[in-house]
Amino acid sequence: MYRTHTCGELRLANAGQEVTLSGWVQRVRDKGALIWIDLRDRYGITQLFLQDGVSDPKLIEQARSFGREYVLQAKGTVVERESKNPNMPTGEIEIKVSEFNLLNASKVPPFTIEDESDGGDDLRMKYRYLDLRRNPVRRNLELRHNMAILVRNYLSNLNFLEIETPFLIKSTPEGARDFVVPSRMNPGEFYALPQSPQQYKQLLMVAGFDRYFQIVRCFRDEDLRADRQPEFTQIDCEMSFVEQEDVLNTFEGLAKHLFKEIKGIEFDKFPRMTWHDAMKYYGSDKPDIRFGMKFVELNDVAKGKGFGLFDGAELVVGINAEGCAEYTRKQLDQLTEFVKRPQVGAGGMVYIKYNADGTFKSSVDKFYTADDLKKFADKFGAKPGDLMLILCGPAMKTRKQLNELRLEMGNQLGLRNPQKFAPLWVIDFPLLEWDDETQRYYAMHHPFTAPKPEDEYLLDDPSKWGEIRANAYDIVMNGSEVGGGSIRIHDRVLQNKMFHTLGFTDEQAQEQFGFLMGAFEYGAPPHAGLAFGFDRLCSIFAGADSIRDFIAFPKNNSGRDVMSGSPAPLAKEQLEELEIKLDLKDQKA
Amino acid sequence: MYRTHTCGELRLANAGQEVTLSGWVQRVRDKGALIWIDLRDRYGITQLFLQDGVSDPKLIEQARSFGREYVLQAKGTVVERESKNPNMPTGEIEIKVSEFNLLNASKVPPFTIEDESDGGDDLRMKYRYLDLRRNPVRRNLELRHNMAILVRNYLSNLNFLEIETPFLIKSTPEGARDFVVPSRMNPGEFYALPQSPQQYKQLLMVAGFDRYFQIVRCFRDEDLRADRQPEFTQIDCEMSFVEQEDVLNTFEGLAKHLFKEIKGIEFDKFPRMTWHDAMKYYGSDKPDIRFGMKFVELNDVAKGKGFGLFDGAELVVGINAEGCAEYTRKQLDQLTEFVKRPQVGAGGMVYIKYNADGTFKSSVDKFYTADDLKKFADKFGAKPGDLMLILCGPAMKTRKQLNELRLEMGNQLGLRNPQKFAPLWVIDFPLLEWDDETQRYYAMHHPFTAPKPEDEYLLDDPSKWGEIRANAYDIVMNGSEVGGGSIRIHDRVLQNKMFHTLGFTDEQAQEQFGFLMGAFEYGAPPHAGLAFGFDRLCSIFAGADSIRDFIAFPKNNSGRDVMSGSPAPLAKEQLEELEIKLDLKDQKA
């Protein structure tokens, strides 16, 4: 037997017991007459103790040979510590060692296995198995495990069945790019890896499964932006015989359950906001409502005073940063630079300081009198001491720029506390989204999303397509989209109309979605669903920004696993068996 | 709201309530004055009722227009039935319909949605979404869901963490063939889909996770035999600081938990058998011990009596079929034909009938006296009325043939009741397996499996390699291997020795397993694991032979999903983006 206890469980009550522990050497403190070894495993750290003149000299010699991360088995007696450590659960005891058994040596690790490691990002990824020994990373994966178990039991208790759908499926050109898998048994043909089990979960509804879920890996061959992974995990859900209200309540229930169990926070009802309002008041379809600073539209007070930029703009819109009237020239310049960065893209920023003494100071004093500026302040509901920040330009573009500024101000003012949680439903998304490049509409959610019944007639008028609202919804937390879904079209006539709207010929629709459309002719029930991005959900619950540390073995921005060296070239024989060959552009050039 | 109740929940206590149900039309019985509709959903069937002259004539007209598998919403009053059906949970009531709402029509399904369908296999697979509406198939997936939940909660309570490992990994040529995925971002390079998370779970042990599990999809590009799928699901597990006994007890505990919760069966300790004994007494490494008929070796009584076939054979071995002395000539001929089939490959079969009157009748009466045959009977422990069946030839080959005959006799005698469960551990597997074709040894389990410490010295003597036993174990149920695993090598020196034994050069070992071997230098703990084949486990718990009906959307023997038409050719642009092209042999020939 390698151990009688873990390194996290011994307490004063165990004093006097003979125990065996196994774990890694966190550190050896050699004070000459006294030697302490911190032995670590997943469950905690226990202090081992040797004393010159008391302990067997051979043990002392052994102890002095142990380096960091050596794997030991230690036997000994639990004794009360002379100087207790109240910060450790095992801090009241230590082990008087009677026997060591070196289970494995270790090279000196390339970085320290501490909460705050000295390893850079690249090094930590290359030696991910060592990085994973660090408490913060391990805790992330423990959180992920706990959340998955809670999700499964919660949904299972609501009669959801977890049903595994295939990973080797048919490629569908719509949407993001598929990863594909050549079929050796069917030369010249390929499987695709699923971007989501969308079609299969809808088939399961046709099959009468009523309530389906799956925590499932999905794949997207996209050029990776920061914090995107080519493989990611969804909590994928679908329900039959439901309306939007049923879906929202069900998954709000799930989210509340997680908040309660994981964070100890009880929520009443999550607020809801239409997509239209989210864009109007926050310039984002995923507003961070941990803080206010709602957009205020200013056209009526801003225009007609001779300030050309405002006069010519479609929209003048701003936010009020409370208590920021003391911002220095330098701070204001930095904000201007911030909005002028290419990632934000504004032409400039106007500020109005509402000084503590009731006077105003603005970057547009030339055009606006104090009375004019007071009217701005009134629109904002600003008080003396506040700072108003204003952008202008084409409406949608300006709102998105102001969203960036608002989030930046939220950061600067410490209003985005990662341990505060603000969930929100964004509803009534547009059904269709115009793409300038290809000059066609795309489904904003996906081609099976149902329009709101009251907007359905607009499908007959192409000039109104941009106005059609969908029965589609996102769940947003702290400014991140953590899930989204929609009511599905279960009627073939409406679905065909939708395909035509998206510019598919009958043949294209048939080729890509034929088997799903065929299934719908045999009694498809009304159904709807939602999927959570599980990696993101975990990171938000941990109050972290990046999803990468919630994935045991993530890939870098080139889709590479630097630890295993994947992807890698294939052996010639493997390519031959698959009846494909390389066709590299670089070699042809 | 689409429904107030499901189709499975109304009882006599609900009589008088106004309810709304939604579901599929199972059948319409139109008796002229009376019309009944069976409305079905996942939860059950509820009878709807209309009466000419009482119900609204428009309702009656509607009801007559409904075909099988139409999707309806029906409102009405729960009433007590005149003639109750005790075989249905809802059999005491019916719904007096006040309103119908046709949610979707259905084409006539290509086969009936009944427990015993009239659809052939191909048709059922093509319309899998209809096949899944059938109770037996749905129950299989419900069982699968329940088992997965039980497994997860059981292991989680034992401190196992479910950790997701990557699907896009590095290809390793050892073992079965990988499915591969071209990397668009890294042209000329490929990911592989995991055959199992073997290396990652070992890395997680190096990372100190101590107890890992995952219910995870795995992929093998093999020529598909019957009942193999290119993608399949494992319950994959790994533990640190454990010996074989710990692993066996842990997963025996899991299996017992499943038997208790799912089947209501409580097991004491599972029996254990060495691989050597399994081969000697059952001719199989996965003996079906629901019945006896153990092999009896007969060389001492069979040889030296002038029967050349026995005299020249390495092994004469047989089974005793109790109470089968009355087998007819025809039955015996059929058994002989059975063992002579190419799939079994025996040259012939000898029988000895121990007649009820104490006399013997055998196919070798020419060579053996009644006294001789009595000696056979004594070896078998046979009684009058029994039938002894005997094969001979090279030892291992003959045992495998006799295994087939034993299983066939088990089938004929009804000894393989699928509702009886006989779990068994097979332990002490050989470490290495000789392959005649490539003239080298292969790891029987995988290259990380540890030899038994007492056999380790044999690695230094190539002539003894075939005798080395591994710390490897399988869990067998009813003659199927449902899981297997091993103690891993955690010592780099021993691992290198193992790689050399398998004929790997240092460079090959480094290239294929370098990152795992590298990890082992930083303090790998002793560790071990096991994986259950989850598809098979589910089928055994359901008493079914095939795994296919425990997979929602299986593939056929050509790896094809006939429902979605996958795999399929890719668009030219997709191939170009991936910088690969087809290289079809057929087109070149």
For chain B, the residue count is 589
- Residue B131 resides in a domain: no
Do A407 and A439 sit in the same domain of this protein?
no
Q: What is the mean pLDDT of residues A225-229?
A: 80
Q: Which residues of B touch A138 (CB under 8 A)?
A: 207-209
Contact between A170 and B553 using a beta-carbon 8 Å cutoff: no
> Smallest CA–CA separation between A200 and chain B, in Å?
9
Do B454 and B505 sit in the same domain of this protein?
yes
Say which residue, A251 or A226, is predicted with more confidence: A251
Q: Strand B387-393's sheet: what is its strand order?
A: B296-297, B315-321, B387-393, B350-354, B360-362
Q: Answer whether the bond into residue B230 is a cis peptide, omega within 30°.
A: no
State the burial class of residue A449 (Cβ atoms within 10 Å of its Cβ: 0-12, 13-18, 19+): buried
Question: Measuring CA to CA, how many Å separate A96 from each of A69, A88, A557?
Answer: 20, 18, 49
At B356, list the tokens.
Answer: 């009820």
- Residue A392 resides in a domain: yes
Residue of A nearest to B244 (CA): A1
At B244, list the tokens.
Answer: 């074989």
Q: Which residues of B touch A552 (CB under 8 A)?
A: 163-165, 200, 204
Do B314 and B263 sit in the same domain of this protein?
no
* Confidence (pLDDT) at A173: 66
Handedness of CA A566, B499, B524, B243 (dihedral sign): positive
- Residue B117 resides in a domain: no
Low-confidence ranges of chain B (pLDDT < 70): 173-175, 587-589
Choose among B106, B221, B523: nearest Cβ to A106. B523
- Give the residue from A412, A438, A473 where a domain finishes: A412
The parent domain of residue A44 ranges over 12-104
Q: Which of B288, B253, B285 is nearest to B269 (CA)?
A: B253
Do B408 and B430 sit in the same domain of this protein?
no
- Residue B120 resides in a domain: no
At A403, list the tokens.
Answer: 């969203």
Q: Which of B525, B530, B492 is nearest to A7 (CA)?
A: B525
How many distinct structural domains can be found in chain A?
3
- Residue A314 resides in a domain: yes
Contact between B183 and A71 using a beta-carbon 8 Å cutoff: no
Do B326 and B391 sit in the same domain of this protein?
yes
What is the CATH classification number for the domain harbouring B144? 3.30.930.10
Do B428 and B497 sit in the same domain of this protein?
yes
Which residue, chain included where needed, has tokens 């309540």? A249
* Confidence (pLDDT) at A171: 84
Each residue's pLDDT tens digit, A423-468? 999 999 999 998 888 888 888 888 899 999 999 999 999 999 999 9
> Smallest CA–CA separation between A492 and chain B, in Å?
10
Do A401 and A441 sit in the same domain of this protein?
no
Q: What is the mean pLDDT of residues A318-340?
A: 97
- Residue A582 resides in a domain: no
- Give the residue from A369, A390, A412 where a domain finishes: A412
Contact between A579 and B574 using a beta-carbon 8 Å cutoff: no
**By the 8 A CB rule, do A103 and B243 touch?**
no
Contact between A181 and B177 using a beta-carbon 8 Å cutoff: no
Best A564, A575, A581, A585 member to test B by mutation, with max B CBs in 10 Å, is: A564
Do B147 and B89 sit in the same domain of this protein?
no
Residue of A nearest to B527 (CA): A2
Each residue's pLDDT tens digit, A472-494? 999 999 999 999 999 999 988 89
Choose among B69, B170, B582: nearest Cβ to A580. B582
Choose among B103, B185, B569: nearest Cβ to A525. B103
* Confidence (pLDDT) at B360: 97
Tally of CA atoms within 13 A in the half-sphere of B430 that contains its CB: 16
**Single-letter residue type at B517:** M
**Single-letter residue type at B108:** V
ipTM summary value: 0.95
Do B142 and B232 sit in the same domain of this protein?
yes
- Residue B114 resides in a domain: no
DSSP bridge pairs for A435:
A440
At B522, list the tokens.
Answer: 């930083």
Q: How many CB pairs under 8 A join A and B?
A: 363
Say if strands A71-80 and B350-354 run parallel, antiparallel, or are unpaired: unpaired
Q: How far apart are CA A367 and CA A372, in angstroms?
A: 9
> Smallest CA–CA separation between B422 and chain A, in Å?
28
Each residue's pLDDT tens digit, A382-432? 999 999 999 999 999 999 999 999 999 999 999 999 999 999 999 999 999
Do A329 and A374 sit in the same domain of this protein?
yes
CA B370 from centroid of its chain's CA atoms: 45
Q: How far apart are CA B112 and CA B117, in angstroms?
A: 6
What is the CATH classification number for the domain harbouring B79? 2.40.50.140
Say if strands A71-80 and B44-51 run parallel, antiparallel, or are unpaired: unpaired
Q: How far apart are CA B486 and CA B491, in angstroms?
A: 15
Contact between A203 and B233 using a beta-carbon 8 Å cutoff: no
Each residue's pLDDT tens digit, A261-282? 999 999 999 999 999 999 999 9
Say which residue, A546 or A255, is predicted with more confidence: A255
Q: How far apart are CA A409 and CA A294, in angstroms?
A: 12
Give the three-class secondary structure for B35. Answer: strand
Contact between B558 and A185 using a beta-carbon 8 Å cutoff: yes
As a three-state string, the secondary structure of A29-90 is EECCCEEEEEEEECCEEEEEEEECCCCCHHHHHHHHHCCCCCEEEEEEEEEECCCCCCCCCC
Do A301 and A226 sit in the same domain of this protein?
no
Q: Which of A460, A453, A184, A376 is nearest to B224 (CA)?
A: A184
Do B402 and B489 sit in the same domain of this protein?
no
